């Protein structure tokens, strides 16, 4: 930039020198050199669009030379402005890109903050889940112990029921034997009753014969009375025995029936116990599988919590790098702003050199 | 004399005071004595004088062409004794219980038969005051009973064999087309172990 200014100053000085030489050599030809002087004045003001005109032969050559020099200066200025304009355009584009990058970086920073806060919220949840998983493991352990205890109880119950069934079967056999004995007693009671009937017949026949014998049969009457008394006692006892044996028979039948029902109930209980045992076994298997899944879930939860912690650390690093990147982008934007300011100054300085007849350089890229 | 008389009088009064009183005469309630039996499950009593004996039912020989209450004839004391089924004759039905085990031998002029009994209870003595002529019996029982005795809630009909003879029930033993001849013994069925033939 300084070199460019130096070149421009040298060109300005050379132009002034040529103007001074023309004045000193022309002298009285003032009237014919007005066009040249006017052009020189405009050139001094930086208007490179000025054209020197002269009707005098002495100054015509100067005017032509001046016009040629000015044309070359215009070309030189235009050539100088072109790369700067490209530079300003690229700088503007670069500034826009840097601003977009900076905004993107800021958005990314905000998103990283949100992700970090979300991860911060998730981390306790994962830890809570891990704690819940641990509690579930403990509960499942207790559940398995209870199931094992239930299986032990079911086994004991099955054994006890089996013992009860065997005992019931023995009792049933005993009851059947008791029924047989009762039947035997019943047969004996029937026989006693039959004997009583026979004795009754004997007593009646004795009485008949005694009455038939008249006075001689009186002793037989006493015998018949005695037999009758004995018979009544025997009949009373026989009826009592028969009644009690019948009650005993009914009770035995009821007991036998009850025993059969009890054996059936015990068999049903055994069936139920076996079903309960099978259900407890299935429950134990299910609890074991559930415990494995809870273990797996706990491990996964722990790994997830660890991953969340690592991700949180990585996000912190990314956020730090993003912050550094954003600061670099801001510094770059500041540098570009400074560069734009410098280019704007250069543009304003170059704009003082008019190279065409346009009113200004409003469309120039250097006007930033 | 007077002293002696007074001494005797004192002695009499002293002995009269110390003497044991005579026992009171016990007035026995007049009773009726007989045998308690049962025919076709109906409780009856019968005087001993009307009975010849009670025997176990002997082996029978059936008599074709007779009514179904004629079970047959049996050998008895060197002779033949017709055996009649009390259940069929009095109850007009076949024996409901087990085969009867005893039969009552009755001997009346021109009438010597055995009648099966449903049960035999033994000798019995009943107050004559309890005898009544009103009988809650029907059929041949009412024709053959001369009143009876109430023993609690139970009525014991007094069976009189002369009335049985007079009733004419035994006049014709030939089989009639309406009544089958045989099988009164064959159709009996076993009963319960405690049955006297009255409850089944």
| Chain A residues touching B33 at Cβ < 8 A | 207
Given B53, B193, B194, which is nearest A205 (Cβ)?
A: B53
Whether A329 and A105 have beta carbons less than 8 Å apart is answered as yes
Phi, psi of B112, deg, nearest 5: -135, 100
Choose, out of B97, B193, B196, the residue to mutate when testing the contact with A (most A CBs < 10 Å).
Answer: B193
Residue A356: strand, helix, or coil: coil
* Nearest C-alpha in A relative to B47: A208
Q: How many CB atoms lie within 10 A of CB A167?
A: 13
B131's CB contacts (< 8 A; 6+ apart) are B32, B147, B148, B149, B158
Q: Tell me whether A200 touches chain B (CB under 8 Å).
A: yes
Q: What is the mean pLDDT of residues A343-358?
A: 76
Buried b / exposed e along B57-85 (16+ C-beta atoms within 10 A) = beebebbeebbbbbbbbbebeeeebbbbb
- How far lies A274's CA from each of A157, A159, A162, A260, A282, in Å? 10, 11, 11, 21, 12
First-to-final CA distance of chain A: 17
Q: What is the pLDDT of residue B196?
A: 37
A208–B122 C-beta distance less than 8 A: no
Cα angle at A188 between A185 and A194, to 5 degrees? Answer: 145
Answer with the residue of higher pLDDT: A54 or B80: B80
- How far lies A226's CA from each of A169, A206, A219, B28, in Å? 51, 11, 11, 20
SS (H, E, C) B102-161: EEEEEEECCEEEEEEECEEEEEEEEEHHHEECCCCCCCHHHHHEEEEEEECCEEEEEECH
Give the full edge-to-edge strand order of the sheet including B70-76.
B53-56, B102-108, B111-117, B79-84, B70-76
Q: What is the pLDDT of residue A32?
A: 61
- Residues A206, A202: Cα–Cα separation, whole Å: 6
Q: What is the pLDDT of residue B156?
A: 94
> Which residue's structure tokens are 């017709």?
B82
Q: What is the pLDDT of residue B197?
A: 39
Q: What is the mean pLDDT of residues A293-302?
A: 82
Whether A252 and A175 have beta carbons less than 8 Å apart is answered as yes
Whether A354 and A46 have beta carbons less than 8 Å apart is answered as yes
Q: Tell me whether A197 touches chain B (CB under 8 Å).
A: yes
DSSP summary character for residue B80: E
pLDDT digits (tens, 9 = 90+) for A183-230: 888 888 888 888 888 888 998 999 899 888 888 888 888 888 888 888
Answer with the residue of higher pLDDT: A148 or A357: A148
| Chain A residues touching B55 at Cβ < 8 A | 201
pTM of the model: 0.53
Q: What is the residue-wise DSSP string for A74-85?
A: HHHHHHHHHHHH
Averaged pLDDT of chain B: 83
Q: How far from chain centre, in Å, is Cα A205?
A: 110
Q: What is the residue-wise DSSP string for B19-56?
A: SPPPPPPP-PPPEEEEEEEEETTEEEEE-GGG--EEEE
pLDDT over 90, % of chain A: 1
Closest Cα in chain B, distance from residue A204 (Å) = 6
pLDDT digits (tens, 9 = 90+) for A82-103: 888 888 888 888 888 888 888 8
Which among A23-32, A72-81, B174-183 has the top mean pLDDT?
Answer: A72-81
Strands (DSSP E) contained in chain A are: none
Expressed in percent and rounded to 5, the helix, strand and coil fractions of chain A are: 90, 0, 10
Chain B residues contacting A via beta carbons under 8 Å: 33, 35, 48-49, 51-56, 101-102, 119-123, 193-194
pLDDT band at A25 (very low <50, low <70, confident <90, very high): low
Given A199, A200, A211, which is nearest B48 (Cβ)?
A: A211
- How far lies A304's CA from each of A129, A143, A265, A308, in Å? 10, 27, 56, 6
Q: What is the mean pLDDT of residues B63-89?
A: 90
Q: Tokens in use for A62?
A: 């100067």
Q: Tokens in use for B190?
A: 């076993």
Averaged pLDDT of chain A: 81
- Residues A251, A129: Cα–Cα separation, whole Å: 67
pLDDT digits (tens, 9 = 90+) for B149-189: 998 889 999 999 888 888 888 888 888 766 555 554 444 44
Q: What is the pLDDT of residue A26?
A: 54
| Chain A residues touching B56 at Cβ < 8 A | 201
- Residues B200, A183: Cα–Cα separation, whole Å: 20
Q: What is the pLDDT of residue B47?
A: 93
Q: Which helix (H) or strand (E) holds B70?
A: strand B70-76
- Residues A136, A301: Cα–Cα separation, whole Å: 13
Q: Tell me whether A240 touches chain B (CB under 8 Å).
A: no
B52–A208 C-beta distance less than 8 A: yes
B123–A224 C-beta distance less than 8 A: yes
Q: What is the pLDDT of residue B192?
A: 37
| Chain B residues touching A234 at Cβ < 8 A | none
- How far lies A109's CA from each of A30, A95, A97, A333, B21, in Å? 74, 20, 18, 18, 146
Q: How far from chain centre, in Å, is Cα A208?
A: 114
A186–B193 C-beta distance less than 8 A: yes
> Which residue's structure tokens are 């028979």?
A249
Q: Which helix (H) or strand (E) holds B82?
A: strand B79-84
Whether B94 and B88 have beta carbons less than 8 Å apart is answered as yes
Going by DSSP bridges, is the β-strand pair B102-108/B53-56 parallel, antiparallel, or unpaired? antiparallel
Q: What is the mean pLDDT of residues B33-60?
A: 92
Q: What is the pLDDT of residue B34?
A: 93
Q: What is the pLDDT of residue B199?
A: 37
Choose, out of A208, A231, A239, the residue to mutate when testing the contact with B (most B CBs < 10 Å).
Answer: A208
């Amino acid at each position: 930039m300084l070199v460019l200014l130096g070149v421009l100053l040298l060109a300005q000085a050379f132009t002034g020198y040529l103007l001074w030489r023309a004045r000193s050599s022309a002298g009285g030809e003032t009237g014919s050199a007005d066009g040249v002087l006017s052009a020189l004045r405009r050139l001094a003001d930086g208007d490179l669009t000025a054209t020197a005109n002269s009707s005098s032969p002495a100054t015509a050559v100067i005017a032509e030379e001046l016009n040629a020099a000015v044309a070359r200066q215009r070309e030189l200025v235009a050539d100088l402005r072109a790369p700067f304009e490209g530079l300003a355009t690229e700088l503007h584009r670069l500034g826009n890109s840097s601003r977009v990058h900076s905004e993107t970086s800021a958005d990314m920073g905000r998103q990283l903050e949100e992700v970090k806060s979300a991860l911060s919220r998730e981390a306790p949840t994962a830890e809570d889940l891990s704690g819940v998983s641990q509690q579930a493991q403990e509960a499942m352990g207790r559940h398995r112990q209870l199931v094992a205890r239930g299986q032990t109880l079911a086994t004991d119950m099955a054994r006890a029921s089996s013992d009860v069934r065997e005992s019931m079967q023995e009792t049933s056999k005993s009851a059947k034997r008791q029924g047989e004995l009762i039947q035997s007693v019943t047969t004996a009671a029937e026989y006693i009753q039959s004997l009583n009937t026979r004795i009754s017949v004997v007593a009646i026949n004795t009485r008949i014969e005694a009455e038939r014998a008249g006075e001689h049969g009186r002793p037989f009457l006493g015998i018949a009375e005695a037999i009758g008394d004995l018979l009544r006692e025997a009949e009373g006892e026989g009826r009592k025995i028969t009644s009690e044996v019948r009650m005993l028979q009914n009770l035995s039948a009821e007991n036998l029936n009850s025993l059969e029902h009890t054996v059936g109930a015990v068999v049903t209980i055994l069936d139920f116990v076996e079903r309960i045992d099978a259900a407890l076994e299935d429950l134990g298997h299910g609890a074991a599988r559930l415990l494995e899944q809870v273990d797996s879930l706990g491990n996964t939860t722990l790994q997830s919590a660890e991953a969340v912690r690592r991700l949180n650390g990585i996000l912190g690093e990314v956020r730090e790098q993003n912050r550094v990147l954003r600061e670099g982008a801001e510094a770059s934007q500041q540098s570009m702003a400074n560069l734009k300011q410098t280019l704007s100054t250069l543009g304003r300085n170059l704009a003082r050199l008019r190279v065409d007849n346009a009113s200004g350089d409003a469309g120039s890229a250097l006007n930033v | 004399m007077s002293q002696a008389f007074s001494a005797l009088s004192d002695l009499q009064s002293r002995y009269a005071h110390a003497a044991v009183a005579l026992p009171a005469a016990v007035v026995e309630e007049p009773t009726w004595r007989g045998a308690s039996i049962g025919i076709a499950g109906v409780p009856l009593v019968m005087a001993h004088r009307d009975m010849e004996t009670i025997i176990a039912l002997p082996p029978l020989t059936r008599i074709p062409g007779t009514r179904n209450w004629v079970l047959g004839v049996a050998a008895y004391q060197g002779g033949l004794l017709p055996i009649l089924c009390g259940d069929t004759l009095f109850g007009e039905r076949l024996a409901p219980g087990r085969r009867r085990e005893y039969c009552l031998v009755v001997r009346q002029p021109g009438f010597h038969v055995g009648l099966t009994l449903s049960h035999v209870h033994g000798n019995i003595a009943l107050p004559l005051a309890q005898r009544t002529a009103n009988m809650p019996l029907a059929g041949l029982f009412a024709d053959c009973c001369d009143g009876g005795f109430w023993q609690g809630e139970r009525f014991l009909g007094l069976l009189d064999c002369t009335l049985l003879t007079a009733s004419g029930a035994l006049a014709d033993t030939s089989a009639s087309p309406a009544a089958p001849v045989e099988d009164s013994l064959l159709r009996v069925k076993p009963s319960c172990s405690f049955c006297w033939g009255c409850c089944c």
